[in-house]
Structure 1
Amino acid sequence: MSDCVTNDFVHQLDRQYVFHSWSSQGKLDPLVIAGGKGCRMWDYAGKEYLDFSSQLVNTNIGHQHPKVVAAIQAQAETLATVAPAHANLARGEAAKRILERAPGPFSKVFFTNAGADANENAMRMARSFTGRDKILSAYRSYHGNTGAAIVATGDPRRIPNEFARGHAHFFNPYLYRSDFWAVDETQECERALQHLQRVIECEGPGSIAAILLETIPGTAGVLVPPKDYLQGVRKLADQYGILLILDEVMAGFGRTGRWFAFEHFAVEPDLVVFAKGVNSGYVPTGGVIVSDAICRHFDDHMFFGGLTYSGHPLAMASIVATLDAMRDEGVVENADRVGNGVLAKGLQQLAADHAVIGEVRGLGVFHALELVSDRRSRAPLPAAEVAKLKSAMLAKGLLPFVIENRLHIVPPCIVSEAEVEQGLAILDEVLGASC
């Protein structure tokens, strides 16, 4: 690229030729990004941003990690692509490393291109294994934008896209805005499980292949479930012969201070869906971690699924390098120490200082602030006010992740205490000036 490239040129190029996702195209004003390193990004004018979004909550190892970049370059020089039917060293090593980090009875990994098609194939496996059709998933969820994944999604983006059959939804726990009139976590858990059991009974237990849940719903607001909820879901699934699929696309690979978020809840799923943090999105990839029983089923049953780029060598090399670097550099431990330490404490202090924060919730470097116009009524802060806050953060060099009335605090897992303190100081200043 020429040294003469400017923000205006890139912005104009984008607006003239690029069609964006989830957008009315005429209203877009995309932020221009030229480069990044670690937890920081910058534009062509040299303005720097502290990335508290991890882009779409995926750059767990940060931007431009030299070992991951080098691994991609080396693989490109050796074998840039290969058909998925062939055995390939990078794919085998990537699968081995993922399984070494996944607690539970897992045997193999099926690789996909992203989290959405990973969810598609997990549901396909569950339907084939059980001989049943229906998938239950939560209203407060996001599972991707492909055919069945978007219908499994609970948020309103599914409504214009409901072309897949065999899906039903239920309400998952969310004590701050309880659908069950609960007054504490124990009551929310009990009532949410009772509600799920009634949905199973009404939908017909013998028709349900799987319950699909984000371990910690991310896009819906970092909704950390009550401590016994997922164990309760597991028991219901076992009672009715239903598989449990946990979607760890956003919460997995260090984000919560563990390799997998389900480790916090002492539960073993049948299938685990992953993407994002497994290689920080350096090359598109995703996959399904498959339990022993399901693997054995497909020893003599055809799996009717596949993708041209399943286990793409560049993606596999980036997974190997990412997981090795995370292990060697203590990245997961850092997410636990910093995220559940200075970050969590700092966010609680912000809530004490600013009435606009209705609730703080999260684990590791996976937190959300729920913004309200009134703490007593818990009325969400209007979109126009949230937009002003976002603009003020960008102006001060903080790149936020904002959804509806929520500010998601999701820096890379490598974030330092000093960077957290810098981000918290900007948040404090912006919230103090605006609200």
Structure 2
Amino acid sequence: MNKQFQKYFFSTQQKSLNQFYIPNKVQPLQFNPQSNSPGTLSPKIQKNSPWTKDEVIESTEKHVVFTWGATDTMRKSAKDFVRGEGIYLIDYAGNKYIDWTSQAVSNNLGYTIPDSIHDAISKQLKTLPNLYGGLTISEPKAKLAQILNDITPSNITGFLFPCTGSDANEVAIRAARRFTGKQKILTRYKSYHGGSIGSLTATGDFRRQFAENGVSGFVKFFDFQAMQFQWGKNQEESINNYLAYLEELIINEGHHTVAAIMIETITGSGGVLINPDGVLRGIRSLCDKYKILLILDEVMVGLGRTGEFFSFQSYEGIVPDIFTCAKGISASFLPLSGVGFSKEIQDYFRTNALGWGTTFQAHPVSCVCGLEVIKYMIDKEIIQHVKKLEKTMHKRMEGLLQKHNCLRQGRGRGLFGAFDIVGKDGQLIQMNYSDPNPEPVIKFKQRLLENGIFMWVRAPVLHCAPPLIITESELNDGFDRLDDALKVMDH
């Protein structure tokens, strides 16, 4: 509407019922310009020498944002580290700490990168540092897909390489919906599947509250390990009742609307909740009965953590339709994740678009890292090493359970374990994302650092998941230090 017509229109328009609609007069927008010029480089950035601890703390306080909790609270409780070697982290004062949870259960090979992996990464950086995986073919991607094909069941034939565990689970969800033409994904309440909008909505634990108004189509169901009740009088009855409950859910949701059941093979963040064989067999059977896909999230447990390349391989006869992995696939030396597809699903996407992609998918340097990590694990028999240490792990965990009344129960497989901690009333110490640590937990975390242990602690769960390269003597040393620290939570 030009100005001349606008002036004529508004001056001649008469008020009358059911006449041509009269809009508001267009008001000019008010623009408030701000300077967008760059600043000057800080003198700290310009110098080539390493920063002091005070310089690091200062810039962190001024400019770094933390994630799962309030930044100021998390920053004050965060520990500074400057380097690592073997299973140890080393702070600015030169103090060494056993990394008792492999960071986020991810640094499976510790902090001394093997020469074969380092050299392969360096070579790839010099020859072809990057390719966009959505448009190109490369040797690193092909080799990584081949070696994964070689160590997974014969029906898993197709692989895709995103960047993070969240990415991998997003791919799994997208693929299940595209392949089946159905929308609903059933996930468990205690699960954690990632921090992106889709994977966090699939998550069941407390962190889902950050995304519950986001993506629709996720239906939660209870874990086998319920907090407030038991499924039956014994294991067999409990399994039967649990599977009957899940089938009831599927029927009521409408099996024709359910694309997949997505679970962690062993629920990790929620407390190393190990599925009995009968539970996984039953879920696989329900998926087959109702033509629902089974997605197994192996982001935390995949690549050796439980004494198999993939945790589902410790369950006889269990093969997922889709599985995801991350963390251990590159020992977290570089960002990398993977998604494995059954042949049927892979063949479907030969002629149908998956409809997903990211800039760094199948990054050649990360793929080389993943390939060399798996080769190193095979050459050094890391899987066998984990199985051997499982006996020591279980023995020491059992000893702590019997000794400390702050521990109610524990679970473990391979080098993956967890305890449940309780207060004086015998009840689990519960925490939400915004809750401060109870006083006994604060004292416990302080004693851990004094004893030279760095570990991820979030009540009511204490995880035990050291790097897979840990020796038996180092493992016993870690449990001795943990034993002493637990005394401050006893009552």
On the 8 A contact 2:243/2:283 being kept in 1, the answer is yes
Checking the alignment, whether the CA contact within 8 Å between 1:244 and 1:271 is kept in structure 2 is yes
State the shift of 1:12 in Å: 2.2
**Which residue matches 1:182?**
232
Match of 2:354 in 1: 303
Q: Residue 417 of structure 1 aligns with which residue?
A: 472
Q: Equivalents in 2 of 1:180, 1:191: separation in Å?
A: 10
Write the letter of the residue equivalent to 2:80. V
TM-score of the superposed pair, with normalisation by structure 1: 0.96
Partner of 1:387: 442
Deviations 1:65-97 (A, max 9, x none): 223222221211111101112111111111111
Partner of 1:265: 315
Q: Give the letter for the 2:95 counterpart.
A: K
Residue of structure 2 in register with 1:165 after alignment: 216
Q: What displacement does 1:234 show?
A: 0.4
The answer for the alignment partner of 1:60 in structure 2 is: 108
1:288-320 Cα deviation digits (max 9, x unpaired): 101100011112212211121110011101101
Partner of 1:316: 367
Tell me the SS of whatever aligns to 1:213: strand
280-289 or 8-17, which deviates more: 8-17
1:49 match: secondary structure: strand
- Alignment coverage as a number of residue pairs: 432
Residue 298 of structure 1 aligns to a residue whose secondary structure is helix
- SS of the residue aligned with 1:317? helix
Any unmatched runs of 5+ in structure 2?
A: 1-46, 431-436
- Whether 2:301 is the aligned partner of 1:251: answer yes
Q: Is the aligned partner of 1:326 residue 2:377?
A: yes
User: % of aligned pairs identical?
Assistant: 32
In 1, distance between residues paired with 2:464 and 2:159? Answer: 30
* Counterpart position of 1:154: 204
Q: Indicate how the Cα distance of structure 1 residues 314 and 179 shifts in structure 2: closer, same or farther if over 3 A, else same.
A: farther
Q: Aligned pair in 2 of structure 1 residues 38, 2: CA closer, same or farther (>3 Å)?
A: farther
What's 2:98 paired with?
50
Asked if 1:219 corresponds to 2:285, the answer is no
Aligned partners of 2:475, 2:238: CA distance in 1, in Å?
Answer: 32
* Matching residue within 340, 357, 381 for 2:407: 357
1:25 corresponding residue in structure 2: 71
Q: Which amino acid aligns with 1:118?
A: A
Q: Judge conservation of contact 1:216–1:251 (CA < 8 Å) in 2.
A: yes
Equivalent position of 2:52 in the other structure: 6
TM-score normalized with structure 2 length: 0.85
Alignment CA distance shift 1:181-1:243 (3 Å):
closer
Q: Classify the secondary structure of the residue corresponding to 2:350.
A: coil
The question of whether the paired residues in 1 share the 8 Å contact of 2:444 and 2:488 is answered with no
Partner of 1:5, secondary structure, is: coil
Counterpart residue number, 1:366: 416
Q: Aligned pair in 2 of structure 1 residues 118, 425: CA closer, same or farther (>3 Å)?
A: same
Q: Which amino acid letter does the alignment assign opposite residue 402 of structure 1?
A: V
1:354-387 CA distance string (max 9 Å, x none): 1111111010111001111258x44437733222
Does the CA-based 8 Å contact 1:133-1:166 persist in structure 2?
yes
Distance 2:145 2:123 in 1: 19
Tell me if 1:288 matches 2:339: yes
1:75 to 120, 124, 130: 124
Alpha-carbon distance between aligned partners in 2 of 1:351 and 1:60, rounded to the nearest angstrom: 26
| SS of equivalent residue, structure 1 residue 299 | helix
SS in 2 for 1:245: strand
